[in-house]
Structure 1
Amino acid sequence: MLTLSLIGIGCGDPGQLTRAAIGAINAADLVLIPRKGTAKSDLADLRRTICADVLTNKQTRIAEFDLPLRDATDADYRKGVDDWHDAVASAWSQTIASHLEGEGKVALLIWGDPSLYDSSLRISRRLDPLPDIEVIPGITSIQALCAAHALPLNDIGEPFLVTTGRRLREGGWPAGVDTIVVMLDGGIAFQSLDPEGLQIWWGAYLGMPDQIIMSGALVEAGPRIVAARQEARERHGWIMDSYILKRRP
């Protein structure tokens, strides 16, 4: 029987690994490390570093594979994502089959937590045969962002909403909440909002050595964040960021 362990590894700092995550890595027969191209080689390097730091089981093998790219030009967003998930599932299956003979324990090191804006659980259910699936939770970018700013996410007794940059840009400020967390924002969606009365807490490369954080009134901090984001993206070739917006009366 094949078991697939989806292990949340936090946001890049090996110190964020839980004991359960370390145990699951060492219990695996095979650890898969995806490569996302030279522009995002830092992500594969950090996974290699984590394995070098915590992997003590000499029987565990490590296999790297190239992660298929999603066709961002597809006009049908959902179909494009579905096609991409199929391609990723095929890459997983081929890599597993080339190292294991139908049974064993496979581990995938998942950035943040497998349950939050990550597709690994959906992709894993496309594998044939379907493996047993084990999830080891990890520290999310939301937790890392709040910790970096020493910020309580919710106001007393009040809700908050987690959304994407695309939804914020297309739909505007969501009704019924004064606090939102924005993830997967490649287009800097906060620029589409009226900044009056809004506060922002922003972070990029959270948990990594190159972590950047900024905060303040959106009308003042927004332009600084846009400039810092552009400079960081040009320097690294990629950026992974998120932010919190609060609306004040």
Structure 2
Amino acid sequence: MRQLYVIGIGAGDPAQVTVQAIEALRRVDVFFVIGKGDAKQELVEVRTAILAAHTDRPYRMREIPDPPRERMVGDGDYRGVVEDWHERRAALLEEAFAETDGVGGILVWGDPSLYDSTLRMVRRVAERGAQRFDLEVIPGVTSAQALAARHRIVLHDIGEPVHITTGRRLREKGVAPGESTLVMLDGECSFTTVPGDDLHIWWGAYLGMPDETLIEGPLRSVEDRITHRRKELRDAKGWIMDIYLLRRVD
């Protein structure tokens, strides 16, 4: 039975990689990478820098083309679309496992437990039964933690919960009273749809990377600035990773 590591590598800063992750990196013979296209070549470079900084043993990279994801019209069957995409990704991952030998590793931005599909795909491969492996998961610093650290804040108020959600869910549910809301995977600036003049926002893009950008303030005062800056950055780089926290203030 082969060994497979799924390793959280933080939000982009090589210094955020944990000692446990470094130890795992140094055991890997082949890293499986799901390609994100030329637009996200910078992510490849950051990943390469992390490996260069933390391991000096020979390793191989096995790139797996990311299958296209069906575009939904309106609300559509979101879960069904994602399940189909994960199934096709798992089939390609299984094929890559079959064609390579040695200790395997998959690098995950942030932490594998938070809005990442890697563990779901690996589980699908294991359930198929053709490839047998011993899986070890290494936690990483999340973008949520990086956002809080860079803004020097606590994610929740005293005795309150913090709700982690997506832009799509924020548009549907809004911000609950007495709850700080952390929003990920929002490509539509959904904060502009949330009512309330008492909301404060802490926003960050490319956390831990050279182009890191931070904006915070009363939502109604800074939402246009964030929307404009986000479009500028995305147009310039061809991609963007951002996250934000919303909280009602007195």
TM-score range, shorter chain: over 0.9
Q: Could you tell me how far apart the structure 2 residues matched to 1:2 and 1:71 are? A: 33
Task: Verify: 1:54 aligned to 2:29, yes or no.
Answer: no
Q: Partner amino acid for 2:44? A: A
Q: How does 1:31-110 map to 2 (within 5 A)?
A: 31-58=31-58, 60-73=59-72, 75-100=76-101, 104-110=102-108
Task: Give the aligned CA root-mean-square deviation in angstroms.
Answer: 1.4
Partner of 2:160: 158
Partner of 1:173: 175
Please tell me whether the aligned partners of residues 161 and 177 of structure 1 are also in contact (alpha carbons under 8 angstroms): no
Please tell me whether the aligned partners of residues 198 and 217 of structure 1 are also in contact (alpha carbons under 8 angstroms): yes
Q: Provide Cα deviations, 1:102-158, integer angstroms capped at 9, x if missing partner.
A: xx3210010000001111111110114353221100000000000110111111222
Structure 2, unaligned runs of 5 or more:
none
Give me the TM-score of the superposition, normalised by structure 1. 0.93
Partner of 2:23: 23
Partner of 2:123: 125
Partner of 1:210: 211
Structure 1, unaligned runs of 5 or more:
none
Please tell me whether the aligned partners of residues 233 and 240 of structure 2 are also in contact (alpha carbons under 8 angstroms): yes
Q: Secondary structure at the match of 2:103?
A: strand
Partner of 1:141: 143
Q: Secondary structure at the match of 1:126?
A: helix
Q: Could you tell me how far apart the structure 2 residues matched to 1:8 and 1:110 are? A: 5
Q: How far is 1:212 from its partner?
A: 0.5
Q: How far is 1:65 from its partner?
A: 2.4
Q: Could you tell me how far apart the structure 1 residues matched to 2:80 and 2:160 are? A: 36
Q: Partner amino acid for 2:191? A: F
Q: Could you tell me how far apart the structure 1 residues matched to 2:181 and 2:38 are? A: 33
Q: Secondary structure at the match of 1:125?
A: helix
Number of corresponding residues: 244
Of the three residues 89, 92, 111, the one matched with 2:109 is: 111
Q: How far is 1:173 from its partner?
A: 2.0
Residue identity over aligned pairs, in percent, reads 46
Please tell me whether the aligned partners of residues 160 and 177 of structure 1 are also in contact (alpha carbons under 8 angstroms): no
Please tell me whether the aligned partners of residues 201 and 245 of structure 1 are also in contact (alpha carbons under 8 angstroms): yes
Post-superposition, which runs of at least 4 consecutive aligned residues in structure 1 deviate over 3 A? Answer: none
Q: Partner amino acid for 1:5? A: Y
Q: How far is 1:181 from its partner?
A: 0.3
Q: Could you tell me how far apart the structure 1 residues matched to 2:146 and 2:217 are? A: 18
Please tell me whether the aligned partners of residues 8 and 111 of structure 2 are also in contact (alpha carbons under 8 angstroms): yes
Please tell me whether the aligned partners of residues 156 and 179 of structure 2 are also in contact (alpha carbons under 8 angstroms): no
Q: Provide Cα deviations, 1:62-120, integer angstroms capped at 9, x if missing partner.
A: 222222232123731111111111111122122222222xxx32100100000011111
33-42 or 63-72, larger mean C-alpha shift:
63-72
